[in-house]
Structure 1
Amino acid sequence: MDRVDLKPPTDAVDRAADAYAAAPLLNCLLREVARPLPDDAGAGDRPVHRLPGTGRLLRVRPGRRPADPEVYANGAWHRIGHTELVKLVAEELRRLTGLPGGDLPAEMIDSRDAVAALLTARHRAAPPEDPYLRSEQSLITGHPYHPAPKARGGGPVTAWLPYAPEAHARFPLVLLGVREDLVVEEGDTRALDALGTAPPGYRLLPAHPWQLDLLARDLAPAFADRRLLRLGTTDFAAWPTAAIRTLYAPERDLFLKFSLDVRITNDIRRLWRHDLLDLRRTDTAATQAFTAMGPPAAWLSDRGYRTAAFAFEELAVLVRDGLRDHLLPGATPLLAAALAEGFEGNPLPTAADPHAWWEAYLRQVVPPALTAFADHGVVLEAHLQNTLVAVDAGGTPVQALFRDAEGTKLLPEVSRAAGWERLVYCLVVNHLSEIAAALAEHHPGLDPWPAARRELARHDLPEIPALLASPTLPGKTNLLLRWTAADGAAARYLPLPNPLATG
Structure 2
Amino acid sequence: MYPSCSAEAQLAQELDALRPSLAASYAAALSGARAAVLTRLWRALAHEPLPWIARREAVADGLVLRLVDGRRLHGPACDPFATTAYVTEVRLQGEPHDRPARLMTALGVPHGADFAVELDHSTASLALSRAGQPEPGAAVPTSSGEWEQRVVDGHPYHPGCRSRPGFSVAEQFAYGPEHRPVVRLGLLPVDDCLVRGEWPKWLRDGERPLVPVHPWQTEHVLGVTAQDGPDARPLMSLRTLALPYGGLYEGLHVKTSVSARLTSSVRDVSVGSVETALAVSAFAESIAARTDGLLHVTRTLGAASAHSPDLAAVLREPPEVYADTAAGERVVPVAALPLTGLPDSPAWSADFARLALTVGLRLLETGVALEAHGQNLLVVLAPDGSPRRLVYRDLADIRVSPARLARHGVTAPELPARIVTDDETALRRKLFGSLVAGALASTAGSAEALRAALAGAAGDLPRTPDAAALREAPLPTKALTLMRLSPRQPGDQWTLLPNPLA
Query: Which TM-score band applies after superposition, normalised by the shorter structure?
Result: 0.7 to 0.9
Q: What is the aligned partner in structure 1 of residue 45 from structure 2?
A: 29
Q: What is the aligned partner in structure 2 of residue 480 from structure 1?
A: 482
2:448–2:500 contact (8 Å) kept in structure 1: no
Against the structure 1 CA distance between its residues 324 and 421, is the aligned structure 2 distance closer, same or farther, given a 3 Å change threshold? closer
Against the structure 1 CA distance between its residues 487 and 388, is the aligned structure 2 distance closer, same or farther, given a 3 Å change threshold? farther
1:24–1:141 contact (8 Å) kept in structure 2: no
Q: What is the aligned partner in structure 2 of residue 385 from structure 1?
A: 375
Against the structure 1 CA distance between its residues 72 and 4, is the aligned structure 2 distance closer, same or farther, given a 3 Å change threshold? closer
Q: Which amino acid aligns with 2:477?
A: G
Q: What is the aligned partner in structure 2 of residue 246 from structure 1?
A: 240
Out of 13, 35, 38, the position equivalent to 1:19 is 35
| 1:92-171 equivalent positions in 2, closer than 5 A | 92=107, 94=109, 99-101=110-112, 103-122=114-133, 129-171=141-183
How far does the alpha carbon of each residue in 1:224-246 deviate from its partner, in whole angstroms, 9 at most, with x for none? xxxxxx43232xx3111111111
How far does the alpha carbon of each residue in 1:363-407 deviate from its partner, in whole angstroms, 9 at most, with x for none? 3322222222212x2221111211001212222111211111111
Any unmatched runs of 5+ in structure 2?
1-18, 403-419
Against the structure 1 CA distance between its residues 56 and 291, is the aligned structure 2 distance closer, same or farther, given a 3 Å change threshold? same
Cα distance in 2 for partners of 1:259, 1:337 equals: 23
Q: What is the aligned partner in structure 1 of residue 322 from structure 2?
A: 326
- 3-state SS of 2:462 partner: coil
Q: Which amino acid aligns with 2:114?
A: D
Give the C-alpha shift of residue 414 in structure 1: 0.8
Q: What is the aligned partner in structure 1 of residue 358 from structure 2?
A: 367
1:332–1:392 contact (8 Å) kept in structure 2: yes
1:290–1:299 contact (8 Å) kept in structure 2: yes
2:257–2:312 contact (8 Å) kept in structure 1: yes
Against the structure 1 CA distance between its residues 199 and 265, is the aligned structure 2 distance closer, same or farther, given a 3 Å change threshold? closer
The reply on whether 1:449 has 2:437 as its aligned counterpart is no
Cα distance in 2 for partners of 1:215, 1:407 equals: 25
Residue-pair matches, total: 450
- 3-state SS of 2:436 partner: helix
Cα distance in 1 for partners of 2:472, 2:182 equals: 47
Q: What is the aligned partner in structure 2 of residue 424 from structure 1?
A: 432
- 3-state SS of 2:342 partner: coil
User: TM-score, normalised to structure 1's length?
Assistant: 0.81
The reply on whether 1:81 has 2:92 as its aligned counterpart is no
Q: Which amino acid aligns with 1:381?
A: E
2:240–2:256 contact (8 Å) kept in structure 1: yes
Against the structure 1 CA distance between its residues 466 and 11, is the aligned structure 2 distance closer, same or farther, given a 3 Å change threshold? closer
Any unmatched runs of 5+ in structure 1?
224-229
User: TM-score, normalised to structure 2's length?
Assistant: 0.81
2:194–2:275 contact (8 Å) kept in structure 1: no
Give the C-alpha shift of residue 213 in structure 1: 1.4
The reply on whether 1:207 has 2:213 as its aligned counterpart is yes
Cα distance in 2 for partners of 1:142, 1:473 equals: 22
- 3-state SS of 1:206 partner: strand
The reply on whether 1:314 has 2:307 as its aligned counterpart is no
Cα distance in 2 for partners of 1:496, 1:272 equals: 32
The reply on whether 1:494 has 2:495 as its aligned counterpart is yes
1:282–1:409 contact (8 Å) kept in structure 2: no
Against the structure 1 CA distance between its residues 403 and 268, is the aligned structure 2 distance closer, same or farther, given a 3 Å change threshold? same
2:353–2:453 contact (8 Å) kept in structure 1: no
2:199–2:209 contact (8 Å) kept in structure 1: no
Q: What is the aligned partner in structure 2 of residue 257 from structure 1?
A: 255
Q: Percent identity?
A: 24
The reply on whether 1:52 has 2:52 as its aligned counterpart is no
- 3-state SS of 1:498 partner: coil
Against the structure 1 CA distance between its residues 307 and 253, is the aligned structure 2 distance closer, same or farther, given a 3 Å change threshold? same
How far does the alpha carbon of each residue in 1:147-194 deviate from its partner, in whole angstroms, 9 at most, with x for none? 212111243222343000111222232233334xx222012333xx34
Give the C-alpha shift of residue 487 in structure 1: 5.5
Compare 206-215 and 355-364 and name the one that shifted more: 355-364
1:297–1:400 contact (8 Å) kept in structure 2: yes
- 3-state SS of 2:459 partner: helix
Compare 293-302 and 4-13 and name the one that shifted more: 4-13
Q: What is the aligned partner in structure 1 of residue 342 from structure 2?
A: 347
Q: What's the RMSD between the two structures over aligned residues?
A: 2.9
Cα distance in 2 for partners of 1:469, 1:332 equals: 35
Q: What is the aligned partner in structure 2 of residue 226 from structure 1?
A: none
Q: Which amino acid aligns with 2:341?
A: N
Cα distance in 2 for partners of 1:150, 1:6 equals: 18
Q: Which amino acid aligns with 1:257?
A: K
Out of 184, 194, 202, the position equivalent to 1:184 is 194
The reply on whether 1:172 has 2:170 as its aligned counterpart is no
Cα distance in 2 for partners of 1:486, 1:279 equals: 29
Against the structure 1 CA distance between its residues 11 and 232, is the aligned structure 2 distance closer, same or farther, given a 3 Å change threshold? closer
2:43–2:78 contact (8 Å) kept in structure 1: no
Cα distance in 1 for partners of 2:268, 2:22 equals: 38
Give the C-alpha shift of residue 432 in structure 1: 1.9
Against the structure 1 CA distance between its residues 383 and 486, is the aligned structure 2 distance closer, same or farther, given a 3 Å change threshold? farther
Give the C-alpha shift of residue 49 in structure 1: 1.8
Cα distance in 2 for partners of 1:129, 1:119 equals: 18
- 3-state SS of 2:183 partner: coil
How far does the alpha carbon of each residue in 1:108-167 deviate from its partner, in whole angstroms, 9 at most, with x for none? 111111112222333599778425233211333322322212111243222343000111
Against the structure 1 CA distance between its residues 250 and 461, is the aligned structure 2 distance closer, same or farther, given a 3 Å change threshold? farther
- 3-state SS of 1:324 partner: helix
